[in-house]
Structures are given as C-alpha cells and as structure tokens.
Amino acid sequence: MTAQTASKIALVTGGSRGLGRNTVTNLARKGIDVVLTYHSNRSEADAAIAEITALGAKAVALQLDTGASDSFDGFVANLKTALKETWGRDSFDFLVNNAGIGINAKITETTEEQFDRLMNIHLKGVFFLTQKLLPILADGGRIVNLSSGLARFAGPGYAAYAMMKGGIEVFTRYLAKELGARGITANTVAPGAIETDFGGGAVRDNAGYNKMVSSVTALGRAGIPDDIGPMIAALLSDDNRWVNAQRIEVSGGMNL
C-alpha cells in the first residue's frame, strides 16, 4: 500500500461500547482504521476489534481512563508505539472525544465528588487529552467532540453533566480557531436521547422514559446508536471538509 492510498486512522475514546462502538464500526465500513480506547472491559474491546477486522479495517485497543489526566503521557507513549508497529506512522488523522459517563442528580443533591468526576471525564480530560495529542494529530486532520442535546434543552437531574458539555462546545470553537492554520477542523456532535447503556440504560430499558422521549421528538421515537455512528463517520469524510466550528445536534428533532 502506497503512502498516497494508505488508510486514514481515527482515535475514538470509549470505542468499545455504546455510541463509540457504533462509530468505530461505521468508520471501518468506510475503510478508516481505528485506535479505540476502553476503560476497563478488555473483552468488550476485543469484541470491537474483531468486528472492525471482519469489516476489513485494522484496529488496536488501548486502555485509557479519560478522567485521569496524570495518565495521559503514558497513553500517548503507548499510542505512538501502536501507530509505529501497526501502521508504520507517527501520526493519526481523526480524533473523536467520545468517552463519558452519565450521572443523574438534581442540583440540590449533586455531590462535589460527582461534580468532580463529571468534570474530570467530560471537560478537563477532553481538554488535556486533546492538548497532549495535538503534536501527533496530522495536519489536515479532524476533531469531533461529543456533546449532548442537554446543552441546549434542560432535563432535570443533568445540570452538572450539561454544564461540562456546554464547556466542550465552547472548547470546540476555540480548537477550530487555533488549529485552522494547520488545516484541522473541529466540530461538536450533540446526540439526543439514545437507546444505549449510558446513564444506566434509562432510555433503552425504561418504557415510560422512552415513551416520554418519543413524545417530544419530531420523528416520534428515541434515537438508536445507528442514528449517530454513521453521522460521525460521514462528518469525518472529505465530503464535509468545509464544515468547521459547528454544533451539530443529532436528535431527530427533540424538544423543538
């Protein structure tokens, strides 16, 4: 394979499950190779690798706690090794900051520990992981940060989580501004309520909650992972090279 036809490489945090898993498989379908991170479940990561490989793409799984910024130097070193050994490269092309957790607690009940955990994973972690990765993100590359519909509309119990996602949307615009000279774009994808195990699987498993979500969504149902992964893969294609510094909500028209 020549350098001119070499596959692009995407790094997707939290790529072993949920929306991240759907994203990496859809990237593979487009011929994009993947480095995915997982927090603790190696068997899920291995299953994702097998699925990607079956689709004809290369993939590597690396362990990462996106809430532990003191581990990022070690992670970047492991990433450099994986890039060199698997692809013979010292850079990658696409960064998708997807990893995250959901904590549902009203403002009056949110603990400082919960707030700090959300901040470390969704805000501080994304900022400093991206910072550490910028030297090996190829010029002309792409960054996609995951936000949430909850940064636009309010859902009781998600104030702290949504605050972090609002911060990510601002961060994305600054990335686009500061990285434009390198030809790197940065955009935010904000899913609506999706049927995954996120937040304890409430949208997927709670029929009443699912019905409520469906009732406030223009297309009349809750989202599924296949509504999101293909959109992210499409955003990373060259067809969307001029889309930059945008917040793109993918919610089926929720809470209009």
- Catalytic residue positions? 161
Is residue 113 classed as helix, strand or coil in its secondary structure?
helix
175 and 190 in contact (C-beta within 8 Å)?
no
| CA–CA gap between residue 195 and residue 203 (Å, rounded) | 5
Classify residue 55 as left (phi > 0), alpha (psi -120 to 50) or beta: alpha
25 and 55 in contact (C-beta within 8 Å)?
yes
From residue 157, alpha-carbon distances to 32, 103, 154 in Å are: 37, 8, 9
Element at 83 (helix H, strand E): helix 72-87
Q: Can you tell me which residue has the tokens 């394979």?
A: 1
